[in-house]
Amino acid sequence: MSIPTNLTPGTWTLDPSHSEAAWTVRHAGISKVRGTFGDLAATVTVTDNDAVVDATIQSASISTGDANRDGHVKGEDFFDVENHPTLTFKSTSLEGDGEDYKLNGELTIKGVSVPVTFDAEFGGVAVDPFGNTRAGVSAETTISRKEFGLTWNAALEAGGVLVSDKVKINLELSFLAPSAS
C-alpha cells in the first residue's frame, strides 16, 4: 500500500461546498431514485504510510427531490432521524497504489455498524485560484439496506417490492490541505 506522495501529512478537512454524498436505489423494480445528503463533514489524517478517514453525515439532511418521500425516509421506517441523527464512517485500512484504492471501514446507519469497502479513485492534488491546496477523491460502494435494519418495504401487485435492498453510494469529495483548513 502506498499513500500518494503529494499528500502533505496532517489532517485534511472536507470542503462540503465542493463535495457530494449521493445514493441510488431501484424503485418499483423499474426505475431508480437518487438522493443526496447536504450536511457532511470528514477528515483524512495522513501519515507517512497511512490515511485514516472519519466522516459524519447528518441523516436529516437527506434530499430526494420530493418532500413527502424525504419525510418518509427521515421517519422510523428508514433513518429515524429523531433517534439516529448521524450516519458515520470510520476507516480501518487503505489498500492500493497510484490512483486506485480500496478503503475499508465501518459504516454506521441507524445505530448498526457494518464493514464496507469503497472503491476509491484518487483524483490528485491541485492548488485552486485562491491558493488552497486541494485533494480530490471519488468513491463508491453498494450496501444491503437490510444489514442496517432498514427493512421497510411494500409488495407490488405484479410481484417484487417497492424498494430494492441494494443501495449504491457515490462520493465526490474535495479535501483542503492541513495548512488551508
What average pLDDT does this structure show over 26-31? 78
Structure confidence at residue 181 as a pLDDT band (50, 70, 90) = very low
Domains and CATH numbers, the chain: 10-176 (2.40.128.110)
What average pLDDT does this structure show over 149-169? 78
What is the residue whose three cell numbers read 419525510? Answer: 71
Q: Does the structure show a pLDDT above 70 at 156?
A: no
C-alpha distances in Å from residue 127, one per residue of 12, 25, 180: 14, 35, 10
Nearest to 38 by CA among 62, 66, 73: 62
* Average pLDDT taken over every residue of the chain: 89
Query: What pLDDT score was predicted for residue 161?
Result: 65
Terminal-residue alpha carbon distance, the chain: 27
